[in-house]
Structure 1
């Protein structure tokens, strides 16, 4: 199948836009490749430190420099259900590496915070910045320069993007991402959402709400809704960094363990010593980035990736912006209905045919670049297969010929929507994105008076006082990276959802983020420039009429032009956002952060120089 002309055109524009920065990045990668690891050249003291605690056989192999050495970089911790299964992975990987003629060392751990725990709490203001801390932690883990390949163990929201940004700074090293898989299905997502709204209305107790949440989040593995964590897993597969079909296999199962062993063995084979050298810089190129955007759109994935994919691309010297997402969204059909875009969870998506079926449909329509390098070998058609065990051995077979559940996973001829459900909004309030795939058509245009808030808690307080039973657009300002770290405002979803269900026309406009599980309420998010950086959203006053039109792609304040020019911007005190829960330590991150459309990067100067 020939490549779709729009996909080809967008890729060409990205390549042209990125020519200088990509060339600089590849020049640095080549210099590192030529230098190689220093294991055979560094001083005996340095080398002895590198394997002092290794088992005797591993020590001999590293001393002789005859086997490749794999770095394990892991986001394991006990608190995150998605990462708790990773505790077992290093020993599985080390054993598999030895059997494949390699050594694997645990090179470093990276922090892993849970947005589900910090949602609506002060700690959420560290969430976006944690991505770049993870990137820097990955760099520290690999900085010893004694490794020939990397295995990145991570799943959730900022963790996979952070690991990938860090790994791309070592672009000469082959890198395989190793997921843990989703938890088994618990309470249905629609029922969970219903109980949340009932609690918001005061109709169920906190104990009843907690019981429902515990039935939803009940065991090891990733949360089963299609938020940022599971969008990450889709991306790693469609960008060729997982083994085929690895994304959504449940943890602590024979198949999951077999895939983990196979990832280690494959990492050995793609090192320079293994004969199929595939550095990550050759896997992540302009085509892979476009494939990632297409996969995001086709599945109705997390809006957070309109930030993360930008940052990932820049780490590889590639420059993308929201116009690229918007142009591709026009021609990429929505093929998945996973909560919040439907009632199903990722386990049901996987059972319906999953990533293998999805990627075959997209490749068949020319919507993905097939001619890419992957950690599994050349060509993306390899990812139209699914793994299975036969006689205790891991094998792959073609994905299902047709969807096992057409109401969850559609074929390209009968999509749920002709477009990808992600729109760029522009107008006199700046640039923003909106996820329309979960928003009913009758809610995609809202024109109403603004109610202005500078804190999400103020919105909830007004709701509890009964002041929001009307048509309105909630403007929540000073929520950008430089103001307070750009927290997600998912805590607002139940209250706004209640009002919408009661028949009111409501919407949200903010320079902050919503959850990766952004739902049924229309939300113009990531408004850029942010208010603290001179963004026009800071000029809005309560009572101003705003029109949010997701069909036309506009976000406009209907204010007299002369009055608009004369309005002064009053910046509220942000002092309460800068202290407590460790936020004091992130003052420099807030000062350095780029805008949302530039990736919200805290090492912005260095990335801008590279890009």
Structure 2
């Protein structure tokens, strides 16, 4: 199937816009590749330092310099459930490498913080910036020039984008991403959300809430809702950076271990030592970025990727903006109902056919670029990702990893749809624009009757002020909450997901409510309409600063507009207030990030703190 005309149009537009920056990026990649095997450029002193602690058997191969050496970069820590399973992975990878006459070294670790732990806390104001810290940490890990390929071990919100940005700065190296997988299903996400609403309404106490949360977040693995972490795994799959079918296999299973070992086997096959050299710079091209946007729309994925995909693309010399997302969203149907866009969790999505089924549906409809390079290699292109991994018992009783075609039909048509019978005719993210700036909104979980809200504004400059007003009983009415001073320059652009239960309660009581903010909401943005990432942000002289209490605002997700219904003369005459963010710049490590706040770009430019100007 030839690609859809809209995909061809948007891809051509991106390619033309990016011609100069992409060319400079690829020139840098080619120059590094021309230097040959990485360790060959090191002097004897450098080289001896590089493997002094290695086992003697590995030193033989490392000294010879003609066998591949894999660099492992990991976000392991044992506090956070998603990262705890990564502890075992390096040993498996090293064993697999040795079986092929190669070596692997743990190149470095990157920080991994959890938005679920820091939600509503000062630490959340470091969360977005941690992506760029992770990118720089990845570069530091790889800069020793000891490696012929990279395995990136990571799962959650900022970790995978940061690892990918860092890996792209070493674009000549083949790179495969190795996920940990979701925890088994516990208390349903819907039941958890209901308990949060009841707690916000004062109907239950903290003991009941904690018990529900512990039943939901109960073991090692990623959270089971379809937020940023699991959207990351979808992206790595649909952009061709996973061993096919790796995304949603639970940790602690034989299949997960087999896939980790296969990642080591596969990355050794695509180094410059072999005939199928596949540097990451050739995997992440304009078509792969468009495929990522398609996957985001088809699954109702995380709003955070309207930032991360922009920054990832820029790291590869590719320039995209929210208009590209919007144009693709218009032609890509919604094919997944996974919480918060439905009742199912990612385990149920996987069991119903998952990404293999969904990718095949999109390919057969011409809604993905099929002829892309992937780490799976061969001539199959993206079609390789329409197969599921399985373990068979070999003749010697050992498990043998194999792949089978995704099921011919959806295992549950309430969770996984088809292009012929989608859950919605277009994608889950839309662009809003008007006199309040440019913004994105996730509508895949918002009922049609809530997608257009016109109501007076109530202005807040901290999320705590909104919650306090609710507790005082001041919000029992129609209103649009304008929470400003939450952009990347102001305070690191924290998620405001802790507002969700409160706003949902008000909407459930029959009030017309919405949120407009230059901050983020969450990968778990839900059923309350939220115009987020408003750009320019208020601290950068953005128009949110002109809004006053009582201004009537129209948020129209159908027409794609976001306007304060104020006369142009009055609007232009208003002064922009001076926002005092000083209290958000100190304590809990925030003092260390002042430089990032000063240099960060706007949300539509990826909220990045370094340029990637090739």
Same fold (TM over 0.5): yes
Matching residue of 1:313:
313
CA distance in 2, matches of 1:159, 1:386: 25
Q: Deviations over 1:37-81 (max 9, x none)?
A: 441232111100000000111001000112101000000001110
Structure 1: which 5+ residue stretches go unaligned?
A: none
Q: CA deviation at 1:101?
A: 2.0
Structure 2: which 5+ residue stretches go unaligned?
A: 394-398
Q: CA deviation at 1:274?
A: 2.9
Equivalence map 1:368-447=2 (5 Å): 368-378=368-378, 379-391=381-393, 392-447=399-454
CA distance in 1, matches of 2:224, 2:158: 17
Q: Deviations over 1:369-426 (max 9, x none)?
A: 0000000014100100000000011000100110001000011100000000211000
Matching residue of 1:508:
515
Matching residue of 1:66:
66
* Residue in structure 1 matching 2:466, options 459, 466, 477: 459
Question: Are the aligned partners of 2:182 and 2:248 in contact in 1 as well (CA < 8 Å)?
Answer: yes
Secondary structure at the aligned position of 1:73 is classed as strand
Q: CA deviation at 1:569?
A: 1.1
**Do structure 1's residue 482 and structure 2's residue 489 form an aligned pair?**
yes
CA distance in 2, matches of 1:273, 1:437: 46
CA distance in 2, matches of 1:56, 1:66: 17
Matching residue of 1:10:
10
* Residue in structure 2 matching 1:568, options 550, 563, 575: 575
CA distance in 2, matches of 1:3, 1:575: 50
Secondary structure at the aligned position of 1:243 is classed as coil
Q: Deviations over 1:24-44 (max 9, x none)?
A: 000000000001344123211
Equivalence map 1:555-594=2 (5 Å): 555-594=562-601
Secondary structure at the aligned position of 1:368 is classed as coil
Matching residue of 1:551:
558
Question: Are the aligned partners of 2:38 and 2:148 in contact in 1 as well (CA < 8 Å)?
Answer: no
CA distance in 2, matches of 1:432, 1:203: 35
Matching residue of 1:175:
175
**Do structure 1's residue 139 and structure 2's residue 139 form an aligned pair?**
yes
Secondary structure at the aligned position of 2:470 is classed as helix
Q: Deviations over 1:477-499 (max 9, x none)?
A: 01000000000000000000000
**Cα gap change, 1:409/1:38 in structure 2, threshold over 3 Å: closer, same or farther?**
closer
Q: Deviations over 1:265-290 (max 9, x none)?
A: 00100001132110000000000000
Task: Point out the more displaced range, 34-43 or 58-67.
Answer: 34-43
Secondary structure at the aligned position of 1:40 is classed as helix
Question: Are the aligned partners of 2:37 and 2:65 in contact in 1 as well (CA < 8 Å)?
Answer: no
Secondary structure at the aligned position of 2:60 is classed as helix
Matching residue of 2:91:
91
Question: Are the aligned partners of 2:539 and 2:579 in contact in 1 as well (CA < 8 Å)?
Answer: no
Structure 1 segments, 4+ long, off by >3 Å, are: none
Q: Deviations over 1:518-542 (max 9, x none)?
A: 0000000000000111100111000
Question: Are the aligned partners of 2:61 and 2:101 in contact in 1 as well (CA < 8 Å)?
Answer: no
CA distance in 1, matches of 2:9, 2:161: 26
Equivalence map 1:522-533=2 (5 Å): 522-533=529-540
CA distance in 1, matches of 2:74, 2:53: 19
* Residue in structure 2 matching 1:602, options 579, 602, 609: 609
Matching residue of 1:521:
528
Equivalence map 1:314-329=2 (5 Å): 314-329=314-329
Secondary structure at the aligned position of 1:546 is classed as strand
Q: Deviations over 1:139-159 (max 9, x none)?
A: 000001110000000000000
Question: Are the aligned partners of 2:94 and 2:103 in contact in 1 as well (CA < 8 Å)?
Answer: yes
CA distance in 2, matches of 1:197, 1:602: 36
Output the aligned Cα RMSD: 0.6
Secondary structure at the aligned position of 1:423 is classed as strand
CA distance in 2, matches of 1:146, 1:310: 30
Matching residue of 2:396:
none
CA distance in 2, matches of 1:180, 1:508: 34
Question: Are the aligned partners of 2:35 and 2:41 in contact in 1 as well (CA < 8 Å)?
Answer: no
Equivalence map 1:78-227=2 (5 Å): 78-227=78-227
Secondary structure at the aligned position of 1:438 is classed as coil
Q: Deviations over 1:114-165 (max 9, x none)?
A: 0000000000000000000000000000001110000000000000000000
CA distance in 1, matches of 2:66, 2:570: 73
Secondary structure at the aligned position of 1:508 is classed as strand
Equivalence map 1:221-370=2 (5 Å): 221-370=221-370
CA distance in 2, matches of 1:10, 1:459: 40
State the number of aligned residues: 607
Question: Are the aligned partners of 1:37 and 1:145 in contact in 2 as well (CA < 8 Å)?
Answer: no
CA distance in 1, matches of 2:174, 2:573: 56
CA distance in 2, matches of 1:104, 1:274: 17
CA distance in 2, matches of 1:464, 1:300: 32
CA distance in 2, matches of 1:223, 1:111: 18
Q: Deviations over 1:229-264 (max 9, x none)?
A: 000000000000001110000001000000000000
CA distance in 2, matches of 1:34, 1:536: 49
Q: CA deviation at 1:507?
A: 0.1
CA distance in 2, matches of 1:194, 1:386: 34
Question: Are the aligned partners of 2:517 and 2:531 in contact in 1 as well (CA < 8 Å)?
Answer: yes
CA distance in 2, matches of 1:458, 1:590: 23
CA distance in 1, matches of 2:44, 2:65: 13
Matching residue of 1:56:
56
